[in-house]
Structure 1
């Protein structure tokens, strides 16, 4: 279940307050299941609801939603192609005139390909990238990534310690 960590790293790179207060971001995996069928391999898919809780979020909520949409375009693009429902849902509590607690719920599917190792003594386990849907936002998400310089590298990186310094500018 790698997408929870991917989203944590992405939001930490995009939202400056999370670098200072990482405890304000909590990630939960709920309603999880394993999708598997009888076949020639033990390949399967994780299916779960990714819950993202930001506490005491003092920026404009738009500055959270934009990077989440850009992350979804890369990590779960089929959610943006659906016409029957929203790509994710949210709940929010206005704490005072300057801060929110915001909870996002994103339905995630993560494929895992399993095959016998070449020596026959173990398993090769691979998490393939999501199928390419092209630029769902017709250049908008690409412009988002370009505006942040090398932020796209975080999505491409398999390095869990990748550190970037992009930030959404504070709204005026």
Structure 2
């Protein structure tokens, strides 16, 4: 499952404190399942929830939320653009002192996988998410480099 690793990388790249403290960022997968395509090319989809935990985080939650949303825009854009789905991005914060909090994000994702057999070897190819066919409106100006956004 590649998206969990990609989310961790995005949080570390998108926040100065996370870059300096990568061991304080833990990412894992919970409640996974698969959907198998019965017709057409052999493929399946992983469905799971990514948990991303920042321990003793000293900044504002926005400092983590913005790189997380930039990652969602790139890896799971339907969550950001669909009002019925975007409320599924959740978080918990445990305020441990005046200066720090433990913050846990939960992001539901899926990964499409194409199964191929070449030369007697079966492989799984993880497919990139389709980009939305419609404009992302204001979010597009935030997360798309060509439109003036600076987070990605």
Query: Is this contact kept in 1: 2:142–2:149, CA < 8 A?
Result: no
Give the direction of change, closer, same or farther, for the CA distance of 1:138–1:146 in structure 2 (3 Å limit).
Answer: closer
Superposition deviation, residue 141 in structure 1: 1.2
Distance 2:18 2:7 in 1: 12
After the TM superposition, list the runs of 4 or more consecutive aligned residues in structure 1 that deviate by more than 4 angstroms: 143-146
- 1:60-99 correspondence to structure 2 within 5 Å: 60-85=60-85, 86-99=87-100
Q: Please give the per-residue CA displacement for 1:23-71, whole angstroms capped at 9, x wherever unaligned.
A: 2111110000011132354311110010011110001111111111111
CA shift in 2, pair 1:145/1:73, >3 Å:
farther
How much has 1:140 moved relative to structure 2? Answer: 1.3
- Is it true that 1:128 corresponds to 2:127 in the alignment? yes
Q: Conserved in 1, the CA contact under 8 Å of 2:34 and 2:45?
A: yes
Alpha-carbon distance change, 69 to 87 in structure 1, aligned in 2, over 3 angstroms: farther
Paired residues for 1:52-63 under 5 Å? 52-63=52-63
Q: What residue ranges of structure 2 are gaps of 5+ in the alignment?
A: none
- Aligned CA RMSD, in angstroms, stands at 2.0
Whole-angstrom CA distance in 2 between matches of 1:145 and 1:57? 29
Please give the alpha-carbon distance, in whole angstroms, between the structure 1 residues aligned to 2:126 and 2:4.
Answer: 14
Q: Give the unaligned 5+ runs of structure 1.
A: 153-172
Superposition deviation, residue 115 in structure 1: 2.1
Secondary structure of the 1:138 match is: helix
Local SS of the residue matching 1:66: helix
Aligned-residue offset at 1:145: 8.2
For residues 104 and 77 of structure 1, the distance between their equivalents in structure 2, rounded to whole angstroms, comes to: 17
> What's the TM-score, normalizing by structure 1?
0.77
- Residue by residue over 1:94-149, the C-alpha shift from the partner in whole angstroms, topping out at 9 and shown as x without a partner, is 111111100000001000011221x3x1124221111011652131112598536x
Q: Bigger CA drift: 100-109 or 134-143?
A: 134-143
- Larger RCO, structures 1/2 (Cα 8 Å, 6+ apart): 1
TM-score normalised to structure 2 length:
0.87
